[in-house]
Structure 1
Amino acid sequence: MSLILSIETATNVCSIALHDKGELLGLAESCEPNSHGKLIMGMVDKVLNDTRCKRGDLKAIGVSKGPGSYTGLRIGISTAKGLSFGLGLPLIGVDTLEGLAKQAATACKVNDLIVPMIDARRMEVYTATYDKDLNIVRPLSPLVVEENVFESYLEKGKVIFLGDGVKKLREILKHSNSVFLDSQNSARTIGELAFKKFEKGEFEDLAYFEPNYLKDFQVIKSKKNPLLQ
Protein backbone atom coordinates (compact mmCIF):
# COMPACT_ATOMS: atom_id res chain seq x y z
CA MET A 1 0.00 0.00 0.00
CA SER A 2 0.96 3.63 -0.58
CA LEU A 3 -1.29 5.37 1.92
CA ILE A 4 -1.24 9.17 1.78
CA LEU A 5 -3.15 11.34 4.24
CA SER A 6 -4.05 14.70 2.67
CA ILE A 7 -5.14 18.00 4.21
CA GLU A 8 -7.02 20.88 2.54
CA THR A 9 -7.70 24.00 4.63
CA ALA A 10 -7.02 26.84 2.18
CA THR A 11 -10.64 28.05 2.25
CA ASN A 12 -13.61 27.74 4.61
CA VAL A 13 -13.64 23.99 3.90
CA CYS A 14 -11.67 21.78 6.28
CA SER A 15 -11.06 18.53 4.42
CA ILE A 16 -9.09 15.37 5.24
CA ALA A 17 -8.68 12.44 2.84
CA LEU A 18 -6.91 9.10 2.77
CA HIS A 19 -5.78 7.63 -0.55
CA ASP A 20 -4.05 4.41 -1.50
CA LYS A 21 -2.12 4.80 -4.75
CA GLY A 22 -4.33 7.73 -5.66
CA GLU A 23 -7.61 5.92 -4.96
CA LEU A 24 -9.86 7.49 -2.33
CA LEU A 25 -10.40 5.36 0.78
CA GLY A 26 -11.86 7.86 3.23
CA LEU A 27 -12.94 11.49 3.43
CA ALA A 28 -14.08 13.89 6.17
CA GLU A 29 -15.13 17.48 5.46
CA SER A 30 -16.62 20.43 7.33
CA CYS A 31 -17.68 23.92 6.30
CA GLU A 32 -18.17 25.16 9.87
CA PRO A 33 -16.76 28.74 9.99
CA ASN A 34 -13.56 29.45 11.92
CA SER A 35 -13.25 25.86 13.10
CA HIS A 36 -10.23 24.42 11.29
CA GLY A 37 -8.02 24.46 14.38
CA LYS A 38 -10.73 22.88 16.52
CA LEU A 39 -11.73 20.13 14.09
CA ILE A 40 -8.69 19.13 12.10
CA MET A 41 -7.05 16.51 14.35
CA GLY A 42 -10.39 14.91 15.17
CA MET A 43 -11.10 14.64 11.45
CA VAL A 44 -7.69 13.03 10.87
CA ASP A 45 -8.50 10.40 13.51
CA LYS A 46 -11.98 9.87 12.06
CA VAL A 47 -10.67 9.16 8.56
CA LEU A 48 -8.09 6.72 9.90
CA ASN A 49 -10.61 4.99 12.16
CA ASP A 50 -13.24 4.77 9.42
CA THR A 51 -10.74 3.11 7.08
CA ARG A 52 -9.24 0.94 9.85
CA CYS A 53 -5.80 2.38 9.20
CA LYS A 54 -3.18 3.52 11.69
CA ARG A 55 -0.81 6.45 11.52
CA GLY A 56 2.03 3.97 11.27
CA ASP A 57 0.55 2.67 8.00
CA LEU A 58 0.96 6.03 6.27
CA LYS A 59 3.65 6.58 3.65
CA ALA A 60 3.37 10.37 3.23
CA ILE A 61 1.42 13.48 4.18
CA GLY A 62 -0.06 15.70 1.46
CA VAL A 63 -1.20 19.26 2.02
CA SER A 64 -2.74 22.09 0.04
CA LYS A 65 -0.04 24.78 -0.01
CA GLY A 66 -1.96 27.83 -1.22
CA PRO A 67 -2.96 30.33 -2.25
CA GLY A 68 -5.84 30.86 0.13
CA SER A 69 -6.79 31.99 3.60
CA TYR A 70 -3.84 33.00 5.77
CA THR A 71 -5.28 31.34 8.87
CA GLY A 72 -6.53 28.26 7.05
CA LEU A 73 -3.22 27.61 5.32
CA ARG A 74 -1.27 28.18 8.52
CA ILE A 75 -3.38 25.61 10.40
CA GLY A 76 -3.30 23.02 7.62
CA ILE A 77 0.39 23.26 6.92
CA SER A 78 1.34 23.33 10.61
CA THR A 79 -0.68 20.16 11.13
CA ALA A 80 0.85 18.50 8.07
CA LYS A 81 4.35 19.42 9.21
CA GLY A 82 3.68 18.08 12.69
CA LEU A 83 2.40 14.76 11.38
CA SER A 84 5.23 14.49 8.88
CA PHE A 85 7.90 15.20 11.47
CA GLY A 86 6.34 13.08 14.21
CA LEU A 87 5.82 10.06 11.97
CA GLY A 88 9.03 10.45 9.98
CA LEU A 89 7.12 10.78 6.71
CA PRO A 90 7.77 12.85 3.58
CA LEU A 91 5.66 15.97 3.12
CA ILE A 92 4.07 16.69 -0.25
CA GLY A 93 2.83 20.19 -1.09
CA VAL A 94 0.09 20.50 -3.73
CA ASP A 95 -0.97 23.75 -5.38
CA THR A 96 -4.43 24.64 -4.09
CA LEU A 97 -5.75 25.85 -7.45
CA GLU A 98 -4.47 22.77 -9.27
CA GLY A 99 -6.27 20.61 -6.72
CA LEU A 100 -9.46 22.54 -7.39
CA ALA A 101 -9.02 22.37 -11.17
CA LYS A 102 -8.58 18.60 -10.95
CA GLN A 103 -12.25 18.31 -9.98
CA ALA A 104 -13.31 19.57 -13.41
CA ALA A 105 -10.74 17.72 -15.53
CA THR A 106 -12.91 14.67 -16.24
CA ALA A 107 -15.71 16.91 -17.59
CA CYS A 108 -13.40 18.67 -20.06
CA LYS A 109 -13.10 18.11 -23.77
CA VAL A 110 -9.89 18.67 -25.72
CA ASN A 111 -10.16 22.44 -26.20
CA ASP A 112 -11.94 23.29 -22.97
CA LEU A 113 -10.25 25.34 -20.25
CA ILE A 114 -10.57 25.22 -16.46
CA VAL A 115 -10.43 28.34 -14.29
CA PRO A 116 -10.41 27.62 -10.52
CA MET A 117 -11.08 30.65 -8.32
CA ILE A 118 -10.51 31.20 -4.63
CA ASP A 119 -12.25 34.11 -2.94
CA ALA A 120 -9.88 36.77 -1.61
CA ARG A 121 -11.80 39.96 -0.70
CA ARG A 122 -14.10 42.49 -2.35
CA MET A 123 -14.03 41.59 -6.08
CA GLU A 124 -10.62 39.94 -5.81
CA VAL A 125 -9.78 36.29 -6.42
CA TYR A 126 -6.77 34.00 -6.69
CA THR A 127 -6.87 32.14 -9.99
CA ALA A 128 -5.03 30.31 -12.77
CA THR A 129 -6.06 28.66 -16.03
CA TYR A 130 -5.53 25.00 -16.97
CA ASP A 131 -6.28 22.75 -19.92
CA LYS A 132 -7.97 19.35 -19.53
CA ASP A 133 -4.63 17.69 -18.68
CA LEU A 134 -3.93 20.31 -15.99
CA ASN A 135 -1.19 21.96 -17.99
CA ILE A 136 -0.93 25.64 -17.07
CA VAL A 137 -2.33 28.01 -19.69
CA ARG A 138 -2.30 31.12 -17.51
CA PRO A 139 -0.14 31.00 -14.38
CA LEU A 140 -1.28 31.61 -10.84
CA SER A 141 -2.08 35.26 -10.16
CA PRO A 142 -4.33 37.44 -8.03
CA LEU A 143 -6.76 39.62 -9.91
CA VAL A 144 -9.77 41.89 -9.60
CA VAL A 145 -12.76 40.39 -11.39
CA GLU A 146 -14.08 42.36 -14.36
CA GLU A 147 -16.58 41.30 -17.02
CA ASN A 148 -14.03 41.10 -19.84
CA VAL A 149 -11.26 39.27 -17.97
CA PHE A 150 -11.72 35.92 -19.72
CA GLU A 151 -13.09 37.21 -23.01
CA SER A 152 -10.22 35.87 -25.16
CA TYR A 153 -10.72 32.35 -23.78
CA LEU A 154 -14.50 32.38 -24.05
CA GLU A 155 -14.46 33.38 -27.70
CA LYS A 156 -12.48 30.21 -28.49
CA GLY A 157 -14.48 27.62 -26.55
CA LYS A 158 -15.97 26.42 -23.29
CA VAL A 159 -14.43 27.63 -20.03
CA ILE A 160 -15.28 25.90 -16.76
CA PHE A 161 -15.20 28.10 -13.65
CA LEU A 162 -15.27 26.61 -10.16
CA GLY A 163 -14.41 27.39 -6.53
CA ASP A 164 -15.71 29.76 -3.89
CA GLY A 165 -14.61 32.80 -5.91
CA VAL A 166 -16.93 31.96 -8.80
CA LYS A 167 -19.96 33.69 -7.28
CA LYS A 168 -18.32 37.05 -7.99
CA LEU A 169 -17.87 36.25 -11.68
CA ARG A 170 -21.25 34.56 -12.13
CA GLU A 171 -23.00 37.86 -11.36
CA ILE A 172 -21.38 39.73 -14.24
CA LEU A 173 -20.41 37.08 -16.84
CA LYS A 174 -23.21 35.83 -19.11
CA HIS A 175 -21.21 34.40 -22.03
CA SER A 176 -22.68 31.25 -23.60
CA ASN A 177 -19.34 29.41 -23.35
CA SER A 178 -19.04 29.93 -19.60
CA VAL A 179 -19.83 26.98 -17.33
CA PHE A 180 -20.08 27.43 -13.56
CA LEU A 181 -19.61 24.53 -11.15
CA ASP A 182 -20.46 24.62 -7.46
CA SER A 183 -17.40 22.55 -6.51
CA GLN A 184 -15.43 23.57 -3.43
CA ASN A 185 -11.86 22.78 -2.39
CA SER A 186 -11.40 19.20 -1.21
CA ALA A 187 -8.61 16.91 -0.05
CA ARG A 188 -10.12 14.35 -2.42
CA THR A 189 -8.14 15.76 -5.34
CA ILE A 190 -5.20 16.97 -3.24
CA GLY A 191 -4.55 13.31 -2.43
CA GLU A 192 -4.71 12.27 -6.08
CA LEU A 193 -2.12 14.86 -7.08
CA ALA A 194 0.01 14.10 -4.01
CA PHE A 195 0.36 10.48 -5.10
CA LYS A 196 1.76 11.56 -8.47
CA LYS A 197 4.39 13.60 -6.66
CA PHE A 198 5.02 10.71 -4.27
CA GLU A 199 5.87 8.46 -7.20
CA LYS A 200 8.37 11.03 -8.48
CA GLY A 201 9.88 11.65 -5.05
CA GLU A 202 8.88 15.34 -5.11
CA PHE A 203 8.92 16.15 -1.39
CA GLU A 204 9.07 19.39 0.59
CA ASP A 205 11.85 20.42 2.94
CA LEU A 206 10.21 20.55 6.37
CA ALA A 207 12.56 23.26 7.58
CA TYR A 208 11.80 25.70 4.75
CA PHE A 209 8.33 24.82 3.47
CA GLU A 210 5.92 27.76 3.76
CA PRO A 211 2.41 28.46 2.45
CA ASN A 212 1.94 30.47 -0.73
CA TYR A 213 -0.15 33.37 0.56
CA LEU A 214 0.03 35.37 -2.69
CA LYS A 215 -0.84 38.83 -1.35
CA ASP A 216 -0.22 41.19 -4.26
CA PHE A 217 -3.12 41.88 -6.61
CA GLN A 218 -3.24 42.49 -10.34
CA VAL A 219 -5.96 44.92 -11.44
CA ILE A 220 -7.57 43.97 -14.76
CA LYS A 221 -9.01 47.12 -16.32
CA SER A 222 -12.40 47.03 -17.95
CA LYS A 223 -12.62 47.74 -21.68
CA LYS A 224 -16.18 48.94 -21.24
CA ASN A 225 -15.80 51.40 -18.37
CA PRO A 226 -13.69 54.46 -19.31
CA LEU A 227 -13.46 55.45 -15.66
CA LEU A 228 -11.23 52.42 -15.05
CA GLN A 229 -8.79 53.15 -17.86
Structure 2
Amino acid sequence: MALILSLETSSPVCSVALHQGGKLLGQSELRLEKSHSSHLSILVNQLLENSQHTLSDLAAVAISDGPGSYTGLRIGAAAAKGLCFALNIPLLAISTLQAMASQVAAYTAGADNFLFCPMLDARRMEVYSAIYTAGGTEMLAPAPLILESDTLAEQLAHHRLLFFGNGAVKFQPLVADQPNAGFLSGVEPSAIAVGALAQAAFERQDFRDVAYYEPFYLKEVYTTTPKVKN
Protein backbone atom coordinates (compact mmCIF):
# COMPACT_ATOMS: atom_id res chain seq x y z
CA MET A 1 0.00 0.00 0.00
CA ALA A 2 1.23 3.45 -0.95
CA LEU A 3 2.89 5.48 1.80
CA ILE A 4 2.10 9.16 1.21
CA LEU A 5 3.57 12.13 3.06
CA SER A 6 1.35 15.23 3.13
CA LEU A 7 2.46 18.80 3.79
CA GLU A 8 0.22 21.73 4.78
CA THR A 9 1.87 25.16 4.84
CA SER A 10 -0.87 27.43 3.46
CA SER A 11 -1.66 28.94 6.88
CA PRO A 12 0.28 29.88 10.05
CA VAL A 13 -0.12 26.24 11.12
CA CYS A 14 2.68 24.07 9.73
CA SER A 15 1.53 20.44 9.63
CA VAL A 16 2.60 17.11 8.15
CA ALA A 17 0.82 13.77 8.00
CA LEU A 18 1.59 10.24 6.92
CA HIS A 19 -1.01 7.94 5.35
CA GLN A 20 -0.67 4.39 4.09
CA GLY A 21 -3.36 3.07 1.81
CA GLY A 22 -5.55 5.96 2.92
CA LYS A 23 -5.12 5.14 6.63
CA LEU A 24 -3.60 7.78 8.90
CA LEU A 25 -0.39 6.61 10.55
CA GLY A 26 0.59 9.83 12.24
CA GLN A 27 0.66 13.61 12.10
CA SER A 28 2.55 16.49 13.59
CA GLU A 29 1.99 20.25 13.58
CA LEU A 30 3.56 23.42 14.85
CA ARG A 31 1.69 26.64 15.65
CA LEU A 32 4.47 29.18 15.53
CA GLU A 33 4.36 32.20 13.25
CA LYS A 34 6.90 32.12 10.40
CA SER A 35 8.24 28.71 11.45
CA HIS A 36 7.64 26.82 8.20
CA SER A 37 11.06 27.27 6.63
CA SER A 38 12.99 26.30 9.76
CA HIS A 39 10.79 23.51 11.11
CA LEU A 40 9.09 21.75 8.20
CA SER A 41 11.94 19.33 7.53
CA ILE A 42 12.26 18.64 11.26
CA LEU A 43 8.56 17.74 11.51
CA VAL A 44 8.87 15.42 8.49
CA ASN A 45 11.92 13.60 9.85
CA GLN A 46 10.40 13.22 13.32
CA LEU A 47 7.13 11.90 11.91
CA LEU A 48 8.88 9.32 9.76
CA GLU A 49 11.09 8.23 12.66
CA ASN A 50 8.14 7.94 15.04
CA SER A 51 6.22 5.83 12.54
CA GLN A 52 9.28 3.65 11.89
CA HIS A 53 9.63 4.68 8.25
CA THR A 54 12.30 6.41 6.19
CA LEU A 55 12.15 8.75 3.23
CA SER A 56 12.93 5.87 0.90
CA ASP A 57 9.64 4.23 1.90
CA LEU A 58 7.56 7.06 0.46
CA ALA A 59 5.49 6.44 -2.67
CA ALA A 60 4.48 10.09 -3.14
CA VAL A 61 4.37 13.51 -1.53
CA ALA A 62 1.12 15.48 -1.38
CA ILE A 63 1.13 19.25 -0.99
CA SER A 64 -1.65 21.62 -0.01
CA ASP A 65 -2.04 23.45 -3.32
CA GLY A 66 -3.57 26.72 -2.09
CA PRO A 67 -4.91 29.28 -1.97
CA GLY A 68 -3.40 30.65 1.19
CA SER A 69 -0.26 32.35 2.44
CA TYR A 70 2.01 33.14 -0.51
CA THR A 71 5.18 32.59 1.49
CA GLY A 72 3.86 29.46 3.19
CA LEU A 73 2.77 27.91 -0.09
CA ARG A 74 6.15 28.62 -1.66
CA ILE A 75 7.97 26.97 1.26
CA GLY A 76 5.76 23.89 1.11
CA ALA A 77 6.06 23.59 -2.67
CA ALA A 78 9.85 23.87 -2.54
CA ALA A 79 10.07 21.18 0.13
CA ALA A 80 7.68 18.83 -1.68
CA LYS A 81 9.41 19.29 -5.03
CA GLY A 82 12.80 18.72 -3.45
CA LEU A 83 11.68 15.45 -1.88
CA CYS A 84 10.00 14.21 -5.05
CA PHE A 85 13.02 15.04 -7.19
CA ALA A 86 15.52 13.46 -4.82
CA LEU A 87 13.43 10.31 -4.27
CA ASN A 88 12.11 10.10 -7.85
CA ILE A 89 8.50 9.85 -6.66
CA PRO A 90 5.35 11.65 -7.86
CA LEU A 91 3.99 14.94 -6.56
CA LEU A 92 0.30 15.31 -5.68
CA ALA A 93 -1.38 18.72 -5.26
CA ILE A 94 -4.60 18.89 -3.24
CA SER A 95 -6.81 21.98 -3.10
CA THR A 96 -6.57 23.61 0.32
CA LEU A 97 -10.23 24.62 0.22
CA GLN A 98 -11.46 21.22 -0.91
CA ALA A 99 -9.44 19.50 1.79
CA MET A 100 -10.99 21.78 4.43
CA ALA A 101 -14.49 21.09 3.11
CA SER A 102 -13.88 17.35 3.09
CA GLN A 103 -12.55 17.52 6.65
CA VAL A 104 -15.69 19.25 7.91
CA ALA A 105 -18.12 17.13 5.89
CA ALA A 106 -16.65 13.94 7.36
CA TYR A 107 -17.69 15.02 10.87
CA THR A 108 -21.01 16.71 10.07
CA ALA A 109 -24.20 14.84 10.92
CA GLY A 110 -26.56 14.83 7.95
CA ALA A 111 -23.79 16.21 5.76
CA ASP A 112 -25.80 15.68 2.56
CA ASN A 113 -28.20 18.39 3.76
CA PHE A 114 -25.49 21.07 3.62
CA LEU A 115 -23.10 22.77 1.27
CA PHE A 116 -19.64 23.47 2.66
CA CYS A 117 -17.95 26.85 2.25
CA PRO A 118 -14.39 27.27 3.54
CA MET A 119 -13.18 30.87 3.81
CA LEU A 120 -9.55 31.84 4.16
CA ASP A 121 -8.69 35.38 5.19
CA ALA A 122 -7.31 37.47 2.32
CA ARG A 123 -7.15 40.69 4.37
CA ARG A 124 -9.62 43.55 4.67
CA MET A 125 -13.10 42.28 3.73
CA GLU A 126 -11.87 39.73 1.23
CA VAL A 127 -11.57 35.96 1.50
CA TYR A 128 -10.54 33.03 -0.65
CA SER A 129 -13.54 30.74 -0.87
CA ALA A 130 -15.32 27.94 -2.71
CA ILE A 131 -18.41 25.78 -2.19
CA TYR A 132 -18.54 21.97 -2.17
CA THR A 133 -21.10 19.26 -1.59
CA ALA A 134 -20.54 16.65 1.10
CA GLY A 135 -19.20 14.33 -1.59
CA GLY A 136 -16.64 16.86 -2.77
CA THR A 137 -18.38 18.12 -5.91
CA GLU A 138 -17.38 21.71 -6.61
CA MET A 139 -20.44 23.97 -6.67
CA LEU A 140 -18.53 27.25 -6.74
CA ALA A 141 -14.96 27.36 -8.00
CA PRO A 142 -12.25 28.82 -5.75
CA ALA A 143 -12.23 32.59 -6.07
CA PRO A 144 -11.49 35.75 -4.09
CA LEU A 145 -14.73 37.14 -2.64
CA ILE A 146 -15.47 40.62 -1.35
CA LEU A 147 -17.66 40.14 1.72
CA GLU A 148 -20.88 42.14 1.72
CA SER A 149 -24.36 41.51 3.06
CA ASP A 150 -25.49 40.08 -0.29
CA THR A 151 -22.43 37.89 -0.91
CA LEU A 152 -23.55 34.35 -1.81
CA ALA A 153 -27.18 35.49 -1.51
CA GLU A 154 -28.32 33.19 -4.31
CA GLN A 155 -26.75 30.12 -2.72
CA LEU A 156 -28.12 30.99 0.72
CA ALA A 157 -31.60 31.43 -0.69
CA HIS A 158 -31.72 27.79 -1.79
CA HIS A 159 -29.27 25.85 0.38
CA ARG A 160 -28.04 25.45 3.94
CA LEU A 161 -24.40 26.45 4.00
CA LEU A 162 -21.75 25.84 6.63
CA PHE A 163 -18.99 28.48 6.74
CA PHE A 164 -15.62 27.90 8.39
CA GLY A 165 -11.97 28.91 8.23
CA ASN A 166 -10.24 32.02 9.51
CA GLY A 167 -12.10 34.25 7.05
CA ALA A 168 -15.60 33.15 8.03
CA VAL A 169 -15.64 35.25 11.20
CA LYS A 170 -15.71 38.39 9.02
CA PHE A 171 -18.77 37.14 7.13
CA GLN A 172 -20.85 36.03 10.10
CA PRO A 173 -22.14 39.45 11.24
CA LEU A 174 -23.11 40.33 7.66
CA VAL A 175 -25.56 37.41 7.42
CA ALA A 176 -26.65 37.19 11.05
CA ASP A 177 -30.33 37.17 10.04
CA GLN A 178 -29.88 34.49 7.36
CA PRO A 179 -31.34 31.18 8.63
CA ASN A 180 -29.47 29.09 6.05
CA ALA A 181 -26.06 30.27 7.21
CA GLY A 182 -24.23 28.23 9.84
CA PHE A 183 -20.74 28.92 11.17
CA LEU A 184 -18.10 26.63 12.66
CA SER A 185 -15.09 27.84 14.61
CA GLY A 186 -11.64 26.31 15.00
CA VAL A 187 -11.40 24.78 11.50
CA GLU A 188 -7.92 25.20 10.01
CA PRO A 189 -6.07 23.72 7.03
CA SER A 190 -4.63 20.34 7.99
CA ALA A 191 -2.17 17.90 6.46
CA ILE A 192 -4.48 15.12 7.65
CA ALA A 193 -7.24 16.42 5.36
CA VAL A 194 -4.76 16.75 2.49
CA GLY A 195 -3.63 13.17 2.99
CA ALA A 196 -7.21 11.92 3.15
CA LEU A 197 -7.72 13.09 -0.45
CA ALA A 198 -4.24 12.20 -1.66
CA GLN A 199 -4.83 8.44 -1.91
CA ALA A 200 -7.55 8.86 -4.55
CA ALA A 201 -5.36 11.31 -6.48
CA PHE A 202 -2.51 8.79 -6.33
CA GLU A 203 -4.72 6.03 -7.68
CA ARG A 204 -5.85 8.32 -10.53
CA GLN A 205 -2.19 9.08 -11.18
CA ASP A 206 -3.06 12.75 -10.95
CA PHE A 207 0.59 13.70 -10.71
CA ARG A 208 2.09 17.17 -11.14
CA ASP A 209 5.21 18.05 -13.07
CA VAL A 210 7.86 18.37 -10.38
CA ALA A 211 9.96 20.77 -12.43
CA TYR A 212 7.18 23.22 -13.31
CA TYR A 213 4.66 22.93 -10.49
CA GLU A 214 3.54 26.19 -8.88
CA PRO A 215 0.98 26.51 -6.05
CA PHE A 216 -2.49 27.87 -6.78
CA TYR A 217 -2.02 31.37 -5.39
CA LEU A 218 -5.39 32.52 -6.83
CA LYS A 219 -4.31 36.17 -6.82
CA GLU A 220 -1.21 37.94 -8.06
CA VAL A 221 1.18 38.90 -5.31
CA TYR A 222 1.75 42.63 -5.07
CA THR A 223 5.01 43.98 -3.80
CA THR A 224 6.00 47.54 -3.08
CA THR A 225 9.36 49.26 -3.33
CA PRO A 226 10.50 51.00 -0.15
CA LYS A 227 10.68 54.76 -0.46
CA VAL A 228 14.16 56.21 -0.67
CA LYS A 229 14.90 58.55 2.18
CA ASN A 230 16.37 61.87 1.17
What residue number does 2:87 align with? 87
- Amino acid in the other structure paired with 2:82: G
Alpha-carbon displacement from aligned partner over 1:62-107 (angstroms, at most 9, x marks no partner): 0011111110000000000011111111100111111111112221
Q: Which runs of 5+ in 1 are unaligned?
A: 217-229
Which residue in the other structure is 1:187 paired with?
191
Q: d(CA) in 1 for partners of 2:159 and 2:94? A: 28
Deviation at 1:135, TM superposition (A): 0.3
Q: Is the 8 A contact 1:10 1:73 kept in 2?
A: yes
TM-score relative to the length of structure 1: 0.90
Normalised by the length of structure 2, the TM-score is: 0.90
Instruction: Check whether the contact 2:16–2:191 (CA below 8 A) recurs between aligned residues.
Output: yes
In 1: Cα distance, 2:134 partner to 2:205 partner: 24
Cα distance in 2 between the residues matched to 1:127 and 1:148: 15
Equivalent pair of 1:36/1:72 in contact (CA under 8 Å): yes
For 1:207 and 1:215, the matched residues in 2 are separated by 22
- CA distance in structure 1 between the aligned counterparts of 2:47 and 2:111, rounded to whole angstroms: 34
Distance 2:68 2:134 in 1: 23
* Shift, 1:61, TM fit: 0.3
Retained in 2: the 8 A contact 1:104–1:160? no
Does structure 1 retain, via aligned residues, the 8 Å contact 2:81–2:211?
no
CA distance in 2, matches of 1:128, 1:157: 14
Corresponding residue to 1:142 among 141, 144, 148: 144
The amino acid that maps onto 1:176 is: P
Matched, 1:172 2:174: yes
Deviations 1:50-71 (A, max 9, x none): 2111111111000011111110
**1:46-195 equivalence runs, <5 A:** 46-106=46-106, 107=108, 108-174=110-176, 175-182=178-185, 183-195=187-199
CA RMSD of superposed structures (Å): 1.5
Report the alpha carbon displacement of residue 156 of structure 1 after superposing the two structures with TM.
Answer: 2.3
Identity across the alignment (%): 42
> Within 2, Cα distance between the matches of 1:109 and 1:41?
36
